[in-house]
Amino acid sequence: MPTRRLAEIALIGVCAVWGLTFPLVQDAVAKIPVMTFLGYRFVAATLLAAVLFRKQLRALRPGGWRAGGIMGAFLTGGYIFQTFGLERTTASNAGFITGLFVVLTPLFGALFLGHAVGRPAWIAAGVSALGVYLLSGAAGVHLAGDLLVLACAVSFSFHILVTDPAVRVNDVSALLVVQLAVCGLFSLGVATAGRDLVAPPDASVWVALVVTAVFASVLGFWVQAYAQTHASPSRTALILATEPAFAGFFAYWLNGEVLTPWGWVGAGLIMMAIVMVEVVPNLRTVRPLPEG
């Protein structure tokens, strides 16, 4: 099998895993405190990544540690908002709304960093805003949770913006370890301070921890980096855009979630906006860490 095709198949598999994490995490945090789950997930991912990328981590310069810390702060905020949002909305809503970071990133780049963006970015933003309104049921059935997940998408967008200059002068693998460590240690610290540190109560929580720590974070990152090296940028971008669709599929398959007719329209508009941004080359952004 050609290397390019193998890379694309592997990336599709990773996107499926990222989509799977939404219902898995939603079920897990119904049984264990959010900050405890995040602490266990990211500390475990940090230890594994630190072993795999120990040479790169030892070579990371002080500026890289600072950049990784800033990136980790935005990453931590994103996962906290997303996971608390999953307690209050559906896994499918969370998957589609999280994907909006693709649309928001070029807009925030234009507003705060002076990046040039064209009309497609603003059109995509308008389409996605209508999509979120319809997906949330217009009446606000899951409004609180959806707003938390929207805050997650905003945080992930800023994470992308601070990542872009950092990866130009630092090793991506080493930055990954630092970011995971920030997220894991902060979450574990909050859980400990709040006396919420408890053992995973059953096998389903352990499965969610293994999938999110090993496959979604560390392996997912490695596969994405591999795919972006061997597959074309346009095909890679379009494959990455399938993550929200996988989230909706697994939410239906595992949890029996069914979107309303207007919800389907909203989800479709969000996917349209994501693809619109992905297929315009100058709007694409680097994504050195899985957002699932």
What pLDDT digit, counting tens, does each position of 233-243 carry? 667 777 878 89
pLDDT of residue 284: 62
- The alpha carbons of the chain give a radius of gyration, in whole angstroms, of 18
Contact 101, 160 (CB under 8 A): yes
Predicted confidence (pLDDT) per residue in 17-54, tens digit: 999 999 999 999 999 999 999 999 999 999 999 999 99
Q: Which pLDDT band, with edges at 50, 70 and 90, does 221 fall under?
A: confident
pLDDT of residue 220: 86
Does the structure show a pLDDT above 80 at 222?
yes
Least confident of 65-74, 113-122, 137-146: 137-146
Which residues, including other chains, have CB under 8 Å from residue 152's CB and lie 6 or more apart?
Answer: 77, 78, 79, 81, 82, 85, 97, 98, 101
pLDDT of residue 74: 96
How many whole angstroms separate alpha carbon 63 and alpha carbon 50?
Answer: 18
Q: Which pLDDT band, with edges at 50, 70 and 90, does 1 fall under?
A: low
Distances (CA, A) of 36 to 41, 126, 186, 196, 230: 8, 37, 10, 7, 37
pLDDT of residue 247: 94
How many whole angstroms separate alpha carbon 157 and alpha carbon 134?
Answer: 22
Cα torsion for 96, 98, 99, 103, to the nearest 10°?
Answer: 120
Helix (H, G, I), strand (E, B) or coil at 175: helix
- What is the crossing angle of helices 3-28 and 203-210, to 10°? 140
pLDDT of residue 164: 83
pLDDT of residue 281: 61
Average pLDDT rounded to a whole number, residues 115-138: 85
Does the structure show a pLDDT above 70 at 288?
no
Percent helix / strand / coil, the chain, rounded to 5:
80, 0, 20
Does the structure show a pLDDT above 70 at 129?
yes
How many Cβ atoms are within 10 Å of 138's Cβ, its own excluded? 13
Higher pLDDT, 224 or 252: 252
pLDDT of residue 18: 93
Q: Which residue in 43, 72, 74, 67 sits closest to 171, CA to CA?
A: 67
Whole-structure pTM value? 0.91
Rounded to the nearest integer, the mean pLDDT of the chain is: 89
Average pLDDT rounded to a whole number, residues 180-207: 96
Residue type, position 240, single letter: L
Q: Which pLDDT band, with edges at 50, 70 and 90, does 140 fall under?
A: low
Does the structure show a pLDDT above 90 at 61?
yes
Cα torsion for 182, 186, 189, 195, to the nearest 10°?
Answer: -140
Percent of the chain exceeding pLDDT 90 equals: 62
pLDDT of residue 225: 74
pLDDT of residue 234: 65
pLDDT of residue 250: 95
Percent of the chain exceeding pLDDT 70 equals: 93
Does the structure show a pLDDT above 60 at 90?
yes
Average pLDDT rounded to a whole number, residues 86-98: 94
